[in-house]
Homo-oligomer: A and B are copies of this chain.
Amino acid sequence: MKPRELSKDECISLISAAKFGRLGLSNNDLPYVIPMSYVYHDGKIFLHSRGKGKKVEYVARNPKVCFQVDAMEKGRWSSVLISGTASLSDDIETKMKMFAAFMGKDMQGHGGKQFKREDLEKMPMTIWEIKIEELTGREGIW
> A: which residues have CB within 8 A of B?
20, 22, 24-26, 28-35, 37, 62, 64-66, 68, 70, 72, 74-75, 77, 79, 81, 83, 107-111, 142
Contacts and interface: CB of A to CB of B under 8 A. Distances in A.
A39 to B, nearest CB: 13
Given A20-B72, A31-B66, A37-B142, 17 more contacts: A22-B33, A22-B68, A24-B24, A25-B31, A26-B26, A26-B30, A28-B29, A29-B62, A30-B64, A31-B33, A31-B64, A31-B65, A33-B33, A33-B66, A33-B81, A35-B68, A75-B108
A79 B33 CA distance: 10
A109 B142 contact: yes
A29 B29 contact: yes
- 5 residue pairs, one from A and one from B, having the closest CB atoms: A24-B31, A24-B33, A33-B68, A26-B26, A26-B31
Contacts of A33: 22, 24, 31, 33, 66, 68, 81
One complex includes copies of this chain to the number of 2
A72 to B, nearest CB: 6
A35 B108 contact: no
Contacts of A24: 24, 31-33
